Amino acid sequence: MHKTRRTGRLRAVLAAGFAATLLLGTAAAATAAPPAPAEGQKYVIATDTTFAPFEFRDPSTGDLIGIDMDLMNTIAEQQGFEVEIRSLGFQAALSAVQSGQADGVIAGMSITDERKEIFDFSEPYFESGVQMAVAADDTSISGYEDLAGETVVAKSGSEGLAEAEKLAEKYDFTVKALDQSATMYESVKNRSAVAVFDDYPVLAYGIDQGNGLKVVTEKIPGGEYGFAVAKGQNPELIAAFNDGLAELKADGGYQKILDSYLGAAESGGGASGGNIFQLVGQSWPALSKGLWNTVSITVVSFVIALVLGLIFGFMKISTSRVVRGIASVYVAIFRGTPILVWAFLFYFGLPQLTGAPGNVFLAGVATLSLNAGAYLTEIVRGGIQSVDPGQLEAARSLGLGWGRSMQRVVVPQAVKMSMPSIINQLVITLKDSSLLLTIGFAELLYQAQQIYAANFRTTEMLIIVGVMYFVVITLLTWLANIVDKKVNK
Ligand code: GLN
């Protein structure tokens, strides 16, 4: 397989050997822990998208904050290593560590026996467990027995899901797994599910922030949170985390971090107060970042797509069957498969094959440009073919070569005729860029999701980004039409 795996396994073997030596050795064990991370060594740490108060976006800056984030950053600083946080979603974060795409995961992850088979955990840093919550105004559910025939939701790959599934058979209800906390809470509020199973510190925090839920059953105890690495890999990272945690607990830093989030929850509200204009104001830093990402990835992808469209478009009118065939296969593949499949493939699949780390921007550009390129190929082909062949013949009979005739006579007319379709494709590509939120690309809709996951003002946030998309697309279309008139008059 790929390199990281192999070195990982090698490291595991070394670590095991090392441990054995320690066991054979003497009391020196306590000091002769795995070597400390090299000064300035960088680790990729995966986390959930939103699991407030452990990881969530600061609604006013768009920065990832929370107990987990503060712990990780403080410990890294103290122990002299660097971290690059990747906010992927819970299930995806676990997979990233298993596949070697991330070095560790901190995501309010419960230490369980099953997980210990695949992960090595730090010392526990937070006591937690699962609880059920229902809509605040729901009077029909007051215990598990009221769930018969109903649907409940929980997060994919989580202990909440495992607990719900354990109860489902006895109490005869259906469990649906969802990827994000915000979606789970929304499903309960809009009654597509009657209850959510989630960790109680997180539920308590959300309820305090006004997420519109309430708890009606007892906590299901068990499940302390730990920082994790893939089994046998990065032992020095776990050791450094443990050292840092112990230090933070001793010097009060740990308690300070907890207080800064849990204390704030008690005061309630935070950024979630105010009317819609204040909400726009508070979220503007994050939203404008998202808007910038949306526009820049669209522009970069579209320029590449235009080049692809021109190349393959001309290939499609080639006299060579092979050349035509290649272009047709390209178009067929990208028109015949969903964009999301390619986004996942480029972001999760390709790095696994090549061993290179996934890059969300590049994966996004590849996805959008190849997709739009396929449609532009057809637009270019159609444009050229719509020019009366007599014109090419006429140009050539006047002594112009094929290239010249194309350039001077056919292409200008083709461009003019194709322009509306090209602009249309630009708008489609901009809208499609929102799909990239699924691979964690921080575009406009992603930012909105992150914000409403923390402040629970879902409807308003969606209206705000809807208006933003609309304004940008209208401006872009207007601009493109001006260019069109200038160029093609
Ligand atoms: N503590 C739960 C688990 O480990 C949920 C974690 C989360 O949703 N981020 O399964």
Distance of CA 453 to the CA centre of its chain: 14
360 in a domain, yes or no?
A: yes
Lowest mean pLDDT among 79-93, 125-139, 159-173, 349-363: 349-363
Indicate the range of 16-30, 329-343, 404-418, 423-437 predicted with least confidence. 16-30
Return the bridge partners of 230, or none.
Answer: 119
DSSP 279-344: HHHHHHHHHHHHHHHHHHHHHHHHHHHHHHHHHHHHHHT-S-HHHHHHHHHHHHHHHSS-HHHHHH
Site to substitute for ligand 1 among 109, 116, 130, most atoms within 8 A of C-beta: 109
Long-range Cβ contact pairs of 336-341 (< 8 A, separation 24 or more): 339/367, 339/368, 339/371, 339/432, 339/435, 340/435, 340/438
The total of structural domains in the chain comes to 4
One domain, residues 192 and 235: no
Gap from CA of 97 to ligand 1 centroid (Å): 15
The CA-based angle 33-68-261, given to 5 degrees, is: 135
Query: 159 with 70, same domain?
Result: no
Q: Which atom of ligand 1 is nearest to the CA of 55?
A: 9
Q: What is the pLDDT of residue 454?
A: 78
Report CA(108)–ligand 1 centroid distance (Å): 5
Please give the pLDDT value at position 108. 97
Rounded Cα–Cα distance for residues 277 and 87 (Å): 28
Q: How confident is the model at residue 270 (pLDDT cuts 50, 70, 90)?
A: very low
187-203 average pLDDT score: 94
Looking at ligand 1, which atom is closest to the CA of residue 155? 8
pLDDT at residue 32, as a whole number: 52
Of 181, 177, 179, 178, residue with least CA distance to 205: 181
Range of the domain at 153: 126-225
Higher-pLDDT residue of 268, 184: 184
Q: Does residue 84 register a pLDDT over 90?
A: yes
Residue 249, pLDDT score: 96
Specify the range with the lowest mean pLDDT, choosing from 10-14, 155-159, 342-346, 374-378. Answer: 10-14
- Best of 110, 115, 118 to mutate for ligand 1, by most ligand atoms within 8 A of CB? 110
The answer to which of 29-33, 318-322, 339-343 has the lowest mean pLDDT is 29-33
Residue 269 has pLDDT above 50, yes or no: no
Q: Is residue 479 part of a domain?
A: yes
Q: Could you tell me the pLDDT band of residue 22, with boundaries at 50, 70 and 90?
A: very low
**Which of 64, 121, 159 has most ligand 1 atoms within 8 Å of its beta carbon, as the pocket-test mutant?**
159
Peptide bond between residue 53 and the one before it cis (omega within 30 degrees of 0): yes
Query: In this predicted structure, what is the pLDDT of residue 174?
Result: 97
Question: What is the CA(280)–ligand 1 centre distance, in A?
Answer: 31
333 and 443 in a common domain: yes
Give distance in angstroms: CA of 14 to centre of ligand 1. Answer: 31
pLDDT at 33: 59
Q: How many angstroms is it from 24 CA to the middle of ligand 1? A: 37
Q: Which residue, chain included where needed, has tokens 């088979």?
A: 117
Which tokens is 1 given?
Answer: 């397989």
Specify whether 118 is located in the same domain as 166. no
417: in domain: yes
- The atom of ligand 1 lying closest to the CA of 51 is 9
* Residue 270 maps to a domain: no
Task: Return the pLDDT at 448.
Answer: 92
CA 415 / ligand 1 centre spacing (Å): 53
**Is residue 271 one of the residues assigned to a domain?**
no
Same domain, residue pair 285 and 374: yes
Ligand 1 mean position, distance from CA 358 (Å): 24
Where does the pLDDT of residue 273 fall: very low under 50, low under 70, confident under 90, or very high at 90 and above? low
DSSP 408: I
- Strand ranges, E, within 78-187: 82-87, 104-105, 119-121, 126-135, 151-155, 174-178
210, with CB counted inside 10 A (0-12, 13-18, 19+), is middle
| Atom number, ligand 1, closest to the C-alpha of residue 90 | 9
Most confident of 56-65, 112-121, 185-194, 474-483: 112-121
Strands (DSSP E) contained in 179-227 are 195-199, 213-215, 220-225
Asked whether residue 395 falls in the same domain as residue 462, the answer is yes
Q: Which of 54, 199, 203, 219 to mutate to test the pocket of ligand 1 (most atoms within 8 A of CB)?
A: 199
Model confidence at 29: pLDDT above 50: no
Distance of CA 101 from the midpoint of ligand 1 (Å): 20
Which residue among 193, 225, 257 closes a domain? 225
| 183 has pLDDT over 50 | yes
In eight-state DSSP terms, residue 457 is: -
CATH of the domain at 347: 1.10.3720.10
* Cα 485 to ligand 1 centre (Å): 55
Say what the pLDDT of residue 14 is.
Answer: 39
Mutational pocket test of ligand 1: of 86, 127, 155, the residue with most ligand atoms within 8 Å of the beta carbon:
155
Alpha carbon distance 86, 333 (integer Å)? 31
Residue 29 lies in a domain: yes
Percentage above 90 pLDDT, the chain: 71
132: number of Cβ within 10 Å: 28
Atom of ligand 1 nearest to the CA of 115: 4
What is the C-alpha to C-alpha distance for residues 68 and 289, in angstroms, rounded to an integer? 23
Ligand 1: residue of 90, 121, 126, 166 to mutate (most ligand atoms within 8 A of CB) is: 90
Residue 100, domain member (yes or no): yes
Asked if 161 and 283 sit in the same domain, the reply is: no
- Ligand 1 atom at shortest distance from the alpha carbon of 162: 10
Report which listed range, 206-215, 225-234, 268-277, 413-422, is most confident.
225-234
Q: Which two tokens stand for residue 389?
A: 């062949």
Judge if 300 and 374 occupy the same domain.
yes
* Cα separation, 433 vs 293, whole angstroms: 9
Atom 5 in ligand 1: residue holding the nearest Cα: 158
pLDDT greater at residue 332 or residue 61: 332
Residue 404 predicted with pLDDT over 70: yes
Q: Write the CB contacts of 359 (distance below 8 Å, at least 6 apart in sequence).
A: none
Tell me if 259 is assigned to some domain: yes
Q: Which residues line ligand 1 (CB under 6 A)?
A: 48, 51, 90, 107-110, 128, 155, 158-160, 199, 223
- 107 CA to middle of ligand 1, Å? 7
Q: Is the pLDDT of residue 268 over 80?
A: no
Does residue 9 carry a pLDDT above 80? no
Q: How far is the CA of 368 from the centre of ligand 1 (A)?
A: 32
Query: Domain check: are 196 and 312 in the same one?
Result: no
The answer to whether residue 2 scores a pLDDT higher than 90 is: no
Residue 237: pLDDT band with limits 50, 70, 90: very high
- Beta strands at 220-225 and 195-199: parallel, antiparallel or unpaired: unpaired
- The CATH number for 174's domain is 3.40.190.10
Instruction: Name the band, by pLDDT with cuts 50, 70 and 90, for residue 262.
Output: confident
For the record, the structure tokens of 272 come out as 């979630």
Q: Which of 22-26, 183-187, 204-208, 253-257 is the most confident on average?
A: 253-257
Q: What is the pLDDT of residues 431-456, one digit of tens each?
A: 999 999 988 899 999 999 888 887 88
Mean residue pLDDT of the chain comes to 89
Q: Is 178 helix (H, G, I), strand (E, B) or coil?
A: strand
Q: Mark whether 108 and 137 lie in a shared domain.
A: no
> Does residue 313 share a domain with residue 182?
no
Say if residue 382 is in the same domain as residue 470. yes
